[in-house]
Amino acid sequence: MPADFNGTWNLVSNDNFEGYMVALGIDFATRKIAKMLKPQKVIKQEGDSFYIHTTSTFRDYVLQFKVGEEFEEDNKGLDNRKCKTLITWENDKLVCVQTGEKKNRGWTHWLEGDDLHLELRCENQVCRQVFKRA
């Protein structure tokens, strides 16, 4: 049985989101707004099929994928750069590699106790987010 990420999750901590956004080339004004946000994630998981909806008062982002199947991601409303995205299981961690213009781009999700963790990577920046069940 893989890890079960199903649920609605609220952001409780967000370390170095600023550095991650700078690495992505997000402009100053957008960063000022974005770093104040407390996004919520709604995750629907059925086997290896995932729907991850990140919502906030400012912008929304939806990602749908099947583990192990590469697809083109548009990052619309984020940095708008297209990349080839592949998500795989590494034990109970969901590991995403986003191949494109930006080096070392991707993220990892895992569960730790009652918390959902997300590490976001771009170039030499790492952002660490923790979510709790809504």
Strand partners, 96: 87, 107
Residues near ligand VLZ, by CB under 6 A? 26, 30, 34, 37, 39, 41, 52, 54, 56, 58-59, 61, 63, 78, 107, 118, 120
Residue 92 Cβ, how far from ligand VLZ at the closest point, in Å?
16
In this complex, which beta carbon is closest to ligand VLZ, that of residue 102 or of residue 107?
A: 107
In this complex, which beta carbon is closest to ligand VLZ, that of residue 76 or of residue 91?
A: 76
In this complex, which beta carbon is closest to ligand VLZ, that of residue 22 or of residue 47?
A: 22
| Tokens describing residue 122 | 């771009």
Residue located via tokens 């969901």: 94
In this complex, which beta carbon is closest to ligand VLZ, that of residue 34 or of residue 91?
A: 34
Residue 58 Cβ, how far from ligand VLZ at the closest point, in Å?
5
Q: How far apart are CA 28 and CA 47, in angstroms?
A: 39
Q: How far apart are CA 50 and CA 57, in angstroms?
A: 23
Residue 38 Cβ, how far from ligand VLZ at the closest point, in Å?
10
Residue 22 Cβ, how far from ligand VLZ at the closest point, in Å?
11
| Tokens describing residue 27 | 């402009």
Residue 1 Cβ, how far from ligand VLZ at the closest point, in Å?
21
Residue 105, class by beta-carbon neighbours within 10 Å (0-12 exposed, 13-18 middle, 19+ buried)?
Answer: buried
Q: How far apart are CA 91 and CA 82, in angstroms?
A: 28
| Tokens describing residue 59 | 């912008």
In this complex, which beta carbon is closest to ligand VLZ, that of residue 32 or of residue 124?
A: 32
